[in-house]
Amino acid sequence: MLNAILNRELTTVLRTRRMMFFQVGLIAVFVLLVMIRWPTDNRVTEASNRSQQVFRLFSYGLLTTMLLILPVFPATNIVREKKQGTLALLLNSPLGPFRIYFGKLFSILALAGILLALSMPAAAACYCLGGLSLTEELPRVYAILALVALQYSAVGLYISSRSNSIDGAIRFTYGVILALAVVSLGPHKMLQGTDSDLATYAEWLRCVSPIAALMPVLGAADVGGQGLLATDGVPGRFALLSIVITVLASIGTILRLNHTIFDQSRAQGKISDDQNLFVRIVRRAMFLVDPQRRSGGISWFVNPVMIKEFRCRRFGRLHWLLRLVAVCAILSLVMAYVTTSGTLDWEVSEIGGLMVYLQVALVVLITPSLAAGLIATELESGGWPLLQTTPMSALRIVWGKLLSVILTLILLLFATLPGYIVMVYIDNGMRSQVERVVICLAATAGFAMLLSAGIGSLFRRTAPATVAAYTTLIAICAGPLLVWAGRDAPFGHNTVERVLIMNPVAAPLSVIRAAGFENYNLIPGNWWFMGLVSAASMLVLVFRTQRLWKPR
């Protein structure tokens, strides 16, 4: 019966056309990567160097592919069954929660195994060039990737069991994976070299990231390292932490696989008049900005679709936005304080680089969840015919939806401005750099919004639209960084600069003169690229909306 669940889950995914295109495209990418740097002479030393360089980029690319594609399957697995009503049938069968869970887990691991198997011919080509060992680099890299697949599959299934919507599960899963793989490196970057308990905790925290575990295996420098810091033990710590996280997530998911998974009980709360005097005074004061209170009518000069988006979506509520702004402002001020206090021997450009990473990560994480489902959500929920009955035009509806995302992103960008103001106050010569960085970040936010909205308008369901927007945006942001990681070996300076022009992350980093990006001139080429892609995405969005607006 366990095999029945495994076969059911696998056949459902492998029969789709998109899975076939994905497999063919993945093989083509790996073959092209090997062919680009295939040696043309008989010098063994150069061939060995090239094999190590290509294998390093190949490993990073394979890890990035797994981080982009694999989380979608576990994140949508259980919550889709709950929405379709088939999960109740499974729970009423004699399978039990253990076999249900492991059947789903093994099916996702089988997909990950297919992905890894497709990469083995390219890895074998690197091995044939020499310089790689069948007992060192190759098995250790694939062992780390297997642990990544196991850990993120278990985490995705747990999030899926706790979610009530497919698109919400996808957003939260990508957020958790971004935190585990990238954000976990930040505390170590800030606290390394100090003698404190926090530095020890940060060192263990960075071992959660598969990037930190993969780089020592490939012979690269430590992630975020400064100076000669030891990297021994990072892959072993990653393996230990990965197994612990997998076990905890598996236990949590198995405990959720019963009939209580359908319960959505809520606290009854208390009437305001039953609270004490202090609570009543505070509630009356907060009522002035309370998004839950009864609001007045919509003014004639305000777009009603924008108001609808703010009041209907959960993330658009005022209390969520205020919390986000407060967290971003505190983080930017903390990093600026680190520079002014002299706690760490950092330059202003290094703090600016960290702030750029923070803002771009927030934009990449939040924008697709807001913009990808602008049209697909209305089509899926049945709200589009209601919009068609209103006297508003299609362009006004599109503008209202985009305006709700624009205001949220403006609020997000303004939240980190205090840190840049402190940087300019410290070093007034950085005023022009900071101004260009702010322009780059604003252009990145607009680019991410229009690209996500344009891609999302091509779908009729929110979940595929969100996945496609996340995958495309993260691929544009992370893909060129793989080429940058191979700068001077195997890619030259001009090649790296041309590729980085398409990267929204690299442009502000080059302006702020962050480490590794100070020798690249990406402005205004990056602005032209984002402008052209944004204009094309806007045309797609308008054309798609006009086509859907016509009565059928």
Instruction: Of 200-209, 265-274, 397-406, 450-459, give the lowest mean pLDDT range.
Output: 265-274
Q: Give the global pTM.
A: 0.74
Contact 516, 532 (CB under 8 A): no
pLDDT of residue 522: 83
Give yes or no for residue 299 having a pLDDT over 90: no
d(CA 410, CA 301): 20
Please, which contacts does 311-314 make with residues 24 or more away whose CB atoms are closer than 8 Å? Answer: 313/370
Mean pLDDT of 195-219: 80
pLDDT digits 0-9 by tens, 421-463:
766 776 667 677 778 888 888 888 889 889 988 998 888 888 7
3-state secondary structure of 487: strand
pLDDT band at 246 (very low <50, low <70, confident <90, very high): very high
Least confident interval from 83-87, 176-180, 346-350, 362-366: 346-350
Asked whether residue 75 carries a pLDDT value surpassing 70, the answer given is: yes
Percent of the chain with pLDDT over 70: 74
| Four-point Cα dihedral 177, 183, 185, 190, nearest 10 | -170
CA neighbor of 511 nearest in space, from 412, 443, 434, 450: 434
The tens digit of pLDDT for each residue in 85-133 reads 888 888 888 888 888 888 888 888 888 888 888 888 877 877 776 667 7
pLDDT band at residue 285 under the 50/70/90 scheme: low
Average pLDDT, the chain: 77
**What pLDDT sits at residue 243?**
92
Q: Coil, strand or helix: which one is 237? A: helix
- pLDDT at residue 248 tops 90: yes
Rounded percentage of the chain residues whose pLDDT exceeds 90: 6
Range from 228-242, 513-527, 530-544 that averages highest in pLDDT: 530-544
Q: Is 477 exposed, middle or buried (0-12, 13-18, 19+ CB in 10 A)?
A: buried
Band the pLDDT of 224: cuts 50, 70, 90: very low
Q: Is the pLDDT of residue 519 over 60?
A: yes
Return the sign of the alpha-carbon dihedral for residues 163, 167, 171, 173: positive
pLDDT at res. 298: 63
Residue-wise pLDDT tens digits, 13-25: 777 777 788 788 7
pLDDT of res. 2: 54
Q: Is the pLDDT of residue 341 over 60?
A: no
Which of 354, 420, 402, 413 has its CA nearest to residue 538? 402
- What is the reported pLDDT for 37? 59
- AA identity, residue 116: L
Q: How far apart are CA 434 and CA 442, in angstroms?
A: 12
Count of other CB atoms within 10 angstroms of residue 486:
17
In the predicted model, what is the mean pLDDT of residues 226-235? 54
Confidence check: pLDDT of 358 > 70: yes
- The one-letter code for the residue type at 113 is G
The span from the CA of 75 to the CA of 66, in Å, is 14
pLDDT of residue 226: 44
Q: SS3 of 516, please? A: coil
Residue-range domain boundaries for the chain: 2-262, 307-549
Task: List pLDDT tens digits, range 466-495.
Answer: 888 888 888 888 778 777 776 766 667 787
What integer pLDDT is reported at residue 427 of this predicted model? 66
pLDDT higher than 60, residue 232: no
> Within 13 Å, how many C-alpha atoms sit on residue 396's CB side?
12
**Interval 522-550: pLDDT, tens:** 888 888 998 999 999 999 988 888 888 77
Within 8 A by CB and 6+ apart from 60, the residues are 214, 482, 485
Beta-carbon contacts of 182 under 8 Å, excluding residues fewer than 6 positions away, are 209, 211, 361
pLDDT of residue 227: 37
pLDDT category at 334 given cuts 50, 70, 90 is low
List pLDDT tens digits, range 167-197: 778 878 888 888 888 878 777 766 666 667 7
* pLDDT exceeds cutoff 70 at 11: yes
> Which pair of tokens denotes residue 15?
């029969």
178: left (phi over 0), alpha (psi -120 to 50) or beta: alpha
If one compares 519 and 37, the residue with the highest pLDDT of the two is: 519
Q: Are 75 and 170 in contact (CB under 8 A)?
A: yes
The residue ranking higher by pLDDT, 511 or 294, is 511
Q: How far apart are CA 113 and CA 179, in angstroms?
A: 24
Question: Are 235 and 140 contacting, i.e. CB atoms less than 8 angstroms apart?
Answer: yes
The CA distance from 135 to 501, in Å, is 39
What does the pLDDT read at residue 244? 92
pLDDT for 169 equals 85
Cα(61)–Cα(480) distance, integer angstroms = 10
Do 376 and 465 form a contact (C-beta atoms < 8 A)? yes
Q: What is the DSSP string of 358-384?
A: HHHHHHHHHHHHHHTTTTHHHHHHT-H
**Residue 231 pLDDT > 60, yes or no?**
no
φ, ψ of residue 527 to 5 degrees: the values are: -65, -40
Alpha-helix runs per DSSP H in 85-136 = 86-92, 96-129
**Helix then strand then coil, % of the chain, to nearest 5:** 75, 0, 25
- In this predicted structure, the answer to whether residue 344 has a pLDDT above a threshold of 60 is no
CB 445 within 8 A of CB 363: yes
